[in-house]
Structure 1
Amino acid sequence: MIEMMIEQRRRSLGGGMEVGRVLPFAKRRMVGPFIFFDHMGPMDLEAGVDRSVDVRPHPHIGLSTVTYLFSGEIMHRDSLGYEQSIRPQEVNWMTAGRGITHSERFEKARATGDHLHGIQAWVALPDADEETAPAFSHHEGADLPTWSDAGVHGQLIVGAAHGLAAAARTHSPQFYAHLELEAGAHAEIPAGHAERAVYVARGTIEVGDRRVVAGQMAVLRPAASSIRATEPATVMVLGGEPVVERFLYWNFVSSSQDRLQQAAEDWKAGRMKLPDADDQEFIPLPDHPPAPPPAMS
């Protein structure tokens, strides 16, 4: 039922902010079009927290980002002029295309303190849309269909599954959903997609006869059809049709290493516009040059 297990690896983003990095993984860089998957928190941010925890303005190309929170609040500002806070069970969907810059600030935490817990994922754009115009959309309420049945409470974040469709405009077939499972509950995993995975953010589940605990992603075989919670669990299910191999450098994704190099040079030279409402600082380009992905094994 399970093709591969991936353990999150702890990564520091600076300023005391730490995430659990799941994708990319050396032996499995993508699941469908999902090329990046970070588990943020859970962590408490005290009132007055230093601005060093913020994610300062930085660039992207060739991907869409999807930010989803279980708790907490983040303020998004981008070079298109959007300024939008995101709260639990809402979605910020940003398509970088040929280039966008944005920041993510913890302003509520600075004012009153906050408990941060959520997921940020990146979706690689297909070849025909890698250089599409950048875009941003925010979704909540009816844009994100929900369902409850036999101890399973679900919310569709992106794409289509279970006969439902989320509102964000995607560029390739995919699905991404948040499940809350009561102990003993069974949940169906959407079929009809070439690649699928489940990630446990809290609790423990079983896939067939194998146990999957918090911080683990199980990449599923085609025969896998359901999961069972052995205790209350928070689970993300995701998948879709794969795109051809992508190169990843810093915040840039592309089918071309030359395009990665161009994006790096553009950022270093200041040719990418900063957000109007957040243009006083930025994250510098890393010192190391773009490199090909590690060999698969």
Structure 2
Amino acid sequence: MSFSPSPDPALGDKLACDAIDMLIVPRTHDLGGFTVRRALPFAKRRMVGPFIFFDHMGPAEFKDGGGIDVRPHPHIGLSTVTYLFEGEIQHRDSLGTYVPVRPGDVNLMTAGRGIVHSERTDPALKAKGHKLHGIQSWVALPKSHEEIAPGFDHVDEKALPVIRGEGKTIRVVMGTLYGETSPTTQNWETIYGDVVLEAGAKLPVDADTDERCIYVVSGEIDLQGDIFREGQLLVLRPGDRITLSAVTPARIILCGGATMDGPRHIWWNFVSSSKERLEQAKEDWKQRRFDIVPGDEEDFIPLPE
């Protein structure tokens, strides 16, 4: 058993472990006491299945007065998937949705032809201090759905299937895993599982899905004698069934899906199969043609120069 080297995050790495196609070390951004690690998109791997964006937020502890204040901003051509382990975020969008995002719930916002939303910390939480930890990812929409009407789905934690046993707890966030299917809407074949492992527990990962990856949220896992740690994304080779084991108590995200129906372009918060559509979205935001967010109308993030 050996420790895997830390690759240059700009390049990725090819490992001796033949089950791994690429190891990605996310770029880390410090947003003022709040760390975000971005694993996708990556220079040599833009997507895994429909996942085109993958951020690990925190864990962070905000003192009195601190929190998240993401002003209204637009999206097209994607669905955002927000899944928290700890804390709370207030979500508002141009559909009139106003809901708290809480641990274990799935909040799926489908942009389609265009949506605007903001993400902020409730003032009451700011006043007393709080913690925040979770994953925010984007899944690209198939070409047939890129211009659908925007929508928002909230799936309560209690509605998600949970598989327990042999030192494993697996919550099926999206798609079908280990014989259980999540009620979360999916517009493209997608898998997403939140897996908590006791030390020594083993997890088989089938090869039924075209593209799969494992993100280590915490702890250490062993795959074919290589050790992988917190903050590493393992892109698995297609067609290989693997079994990993937890060296320490660990939490991982298993996600991916069918290979997308063609490449996607991404610019700022916009995703599309068409570069021309991205240009239209830029101009629409610049000219304030997107809908406003009720209750959060005064502020917005300008189009980047």
TM-score interval, normalised by the smaller of the two chains = over 0.9
Q: How does 1:244-283 map to 2 (within 5 A)?
A: 244-283=262-301
**How far is the alpha carbon of 1:11 from its aligned partner?**
2.1
- Identity, in percent, stands at 49
CA deviations over 1:236-289 (Å, ceiling 9, x no partner): 0001112110000000000001100100110011001121121110111110xx
Q: Which residue identity is paired with 1:175?
A: I
CA deviations over 1:47-74 (Å, ceiling 9, x no partner): 2226xx4111100000001000110100
In 1, the alpha carbon distance for the partners of 2:159 and 2:274 equals 34
Q: RMSD of aligned C-alpha atoms?
A: 1.3
In 2, the alpha carbon distance for the partners of 1:208 and 1:224 equals 12
Find the partner of 2:95 among 73, 80, 84. 80
Name the counterpart of 2:199. Answer: 183
**How far is the alpha carbon of 1:16 from its aligned partner?**
4.5
In 2, the alpha carbon distance for the partners of 1:26 and 1:141 equals 34
In 2, the alpha carbon distance for the partners of 1:133 and 1:272 equals 13
Q: Which runs of 4+ in 1 moved over 6 A?
A: none
CA deviations over 1:66-122 (Å, ceiling 9, x no partner): 000110100100000100101111111010000000011011531321111100000
Q: How does 1:66-145 map to 2 (within 5 A)?
A: 66-107=81-122, 108-145=124-161
Residues 224, 59 of structure 1: alpha-carbon distance in 2 compared, 3 angstrom cutoff: same
CA deviations over 1:170-227 (Å, ceiling 9, x no partner): 1111110101100010012243111000000100101222211100000011214221
Name the counterpart of 1:198. Answer: 214
TM-score, length basis structure 2 = 0.90
CA deviations over 1:124-171 (Å, ceiling 9, x no partner): 001100111100011113421111110011101111111111112111
SS at match of 2:21: strand
- Is the 1:46–1:109 Cα contact (8 Å) retained in structure 2? no
Matched, 1:37 2:72: no
Name the counterpart of 1:211. Answer: 227
Unpaired segments ≥5 residues, structure 1: 288-297
- Is the 2:221–2:229 Cα contact (8 Å) retained in structure 1? yes
SS at match of 1:153: strand
**How far is the alpha carbon of 1:46 from its aligned partner?**
1.3
SS at match of 2:175: strand
In 1, the alpha carbon distance for the partners of 2:55 and 2:230 equals 13
Matched, 1:155 2:175: no
- Is the 2:204–2:241 Cα contact (8 Å) retained in structure 1? no
Q: Which residue identity is paired with 2:71?
A: R
Residues 234, 121 of structure 1: alpha-carbon distance in 2 compared, 3 angstrom cutoff: same
Name the counterpart of 2:11. Answer: none
TM-score, length basis structure 1 = 0.93
Q: Which residue identity is paired with 2:243?
A: S
- Is the 2:33–2:62 Cα contact (8 Å) retained in structure 1? no
Find the partner of 2:80 among 43, 46, 65. 65
Unpaired segments ≥5 residues, structure 2: 1-18
In 1, the alpha carbon distance for the partners of 2:200 and 2:34 equals 34
